[in-house]
C-alpha cells in the first residue's frame, strides 16, 4: 500500500510514518519545512525516516495548488492519504492569523482537491483538534457535542476543515475520517509545546508559568498511542457519503500540576513555578470520550503519563546533548 502523508517532518507525522513503514507500507512524505520552529529538528525527523526503506520525501507546501494537484498524476499509485500538515499552536494564531487560514483552510481544501483526483483512493484520514470543542463544559467531550463556539482562530480553522470535508464527502463521495487530537506529547515533540518548554526551563532554573495554579486539566495522550490510532482508522475506510469525526485521546483528564510533578521526577530537578490567570484562548479542561474510535478500530491508549513522560524526558535530554 502507498500512503501519501502530509506533515511528514512534523511531530505526529514522523511517528505515523514510522508506524506505516514498520509494517511494510510505502510512504510518500510531504512537508514545506516552514520555520515556525527549529527546522533542524524537522530535518532530524526526516533523517530518521529517510534511513528506512519505503520512504520518499517531497518538499511541497500543501497550499501550493499546482504542485499538489500534479501529484494526482505523478503519484497515481497512492491509495490512502494521511493529512497532518497544519499551522499548529493556539496562541500563535493571535500573532499571525493569515498563516492559519493559509495552511489549515486553504491547505485542507487543496488536499481534498488532490484526493478527489486520485482514481485509486480508498480513504483520507485528516487531523482536526480537540480545540473545536471551545468552551464546552460537558465532560467528557463527545463527537455529538456542539462545536460552533471556538475560542481561538486555530480552533475555527480546524472546524472549517471539518465542514469542508463534510461537503466534499457529499459532493464527491470521498471516504474520510477526521481525528480530533487531544494534547499529544512524547519524544520528538515540538519546542512550542508545554513538555518541551517546561523541561527546558526546569533544567535551566528558569520559572515556568502555570495557569490557575496548574489546576487546568488536559487529556495528555502519548504520541505512539496516537500513531496506532491513526493507522487503525486508516485501515478502516469510512462510508463514502458519511465522513466520520472521531476523538483520539487518552480518556484521562490530568491536572497540569500533576503533569509537571511527574516531569520534575523524570528530570531529577524541581520547577520554579509562577501562577498566572488562565488566558482567554485556553479552556479549563479537555477530556476525550473515545467510545466511537474504539468501536471503529479497537483503539486503546496504553500509556499513562507516569510511563510516557519519562520516555519524553529521556529523549529530551539526549536531544539537548546534541546541541
Residues annotated as catalytic are 154
DSSP string of 251-267, one letter each residue: S--EEHHHHHHHHHHHH
Cα separation of 322 and 162, whole Å?
39
Neighbouring residues of 227: CB distance < 8 A, sequence distance ≥ 6: 12, 15, 16, 18, 19
Q: What are phi and psi of 148, to 5 degrees?
A: -110, 20
In 10 A of CB 214, how many CB atoms? 19
DSSP string of 179-242, one letter each residue: EEE--EE-TT--TTSHHHHHHHHHHHT-EEEEEGGGT-EE--EEHHHHHHHHHHHHTSPPPTTS
Amino acid at each position: 500500500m502507498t500512503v501519501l502523508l502530509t506533515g511528514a517532518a512534523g511531530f505526529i507525522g514522523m511517528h505515523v510514518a514510522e508506524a506505516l513503514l514498520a509494517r511494510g507500507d510505502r510512504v510518500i512524505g510531504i512537508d514545506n519545512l516552514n520555520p515556525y520552529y527549529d527546522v533542524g529538528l524537522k530535518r532530524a525527523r526526516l533523517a530518521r525516516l529517510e534511513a528506512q526503506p519505503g520512504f520518499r520525501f517531497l518538499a511541497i507546501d500543501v497550499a501550493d495548488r499546482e504542485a499538489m494537484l500534479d501529484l494526482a498524476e505523478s503519484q497515481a499509485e497512492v491509495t490512502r492519504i494521511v493529512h497532518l500538515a497544519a499551522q499548529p499552536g493556539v496562541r500563535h494564531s493571535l500573532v499571525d492569523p493569515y498563516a492559519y487560514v493559509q495552511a489549515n483552510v486553504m491547505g485542507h481544501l487543496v488536499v481534498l482537491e488532490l484526493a478527489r483526483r486520485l482514481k485509486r483512493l480508498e480513504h483520507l484520514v485528516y487531523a482536526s483538534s480537540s480545540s473545536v470543542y471551545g468552551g464546552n463544559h460537558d465532560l467528557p467531550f463527545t463527537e455529538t457535542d456542539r462545536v460552533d463556539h471556538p475560542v481561538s482562530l486555530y480552533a475555527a480553522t480546524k472546524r472549517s476543515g471539518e465542514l469542508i470535508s463534510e461537503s466534499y464527502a457529499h459532493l464527491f463521495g470521498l471516504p474520510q475520517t477526521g481525528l480530533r487530537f487531544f494534547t499529544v506529547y512524547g519524544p520528538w515533540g515540538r519546542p512550542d509545546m508545554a513538555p518541551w518548554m517546561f523541561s527546558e526551563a526546569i533544567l535551566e532554573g528558569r520559572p515556568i508559568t502555570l495557569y490557575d495554579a496548574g489546576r487546568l486539566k488536559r487529556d495528555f495522550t502519548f504520541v505512539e498511542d496516537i500513531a496506532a490510532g491513526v493507522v487503525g482508522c486508516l485501515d478502516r475506510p469510512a462510508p463514502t457519503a458519511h465522513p466520520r469525526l472521531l476523538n483520539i485521546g487518552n480518556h484521562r483528564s490530568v491536572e497540569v500540576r500533576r503533569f509537571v510533578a511527574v516531569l520534575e521526577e523524570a528530570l531529577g530537578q524541581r520547577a520554579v513555578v509562577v501562577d498566572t490567570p488562565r488566558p482567554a484562548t485556553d479552556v479549563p479542561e479537555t477530556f476525550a470520550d473515545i467510545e466511537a474510535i474504539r468501536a471503529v478500530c479497537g483503539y486503546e491508549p496504553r500509556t499513562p503519563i507516569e510511563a510516557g513522560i519519562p520516555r519524553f524526558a529521556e529523549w529530551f535530554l539526549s536531544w539537548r546533548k546534541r546541541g
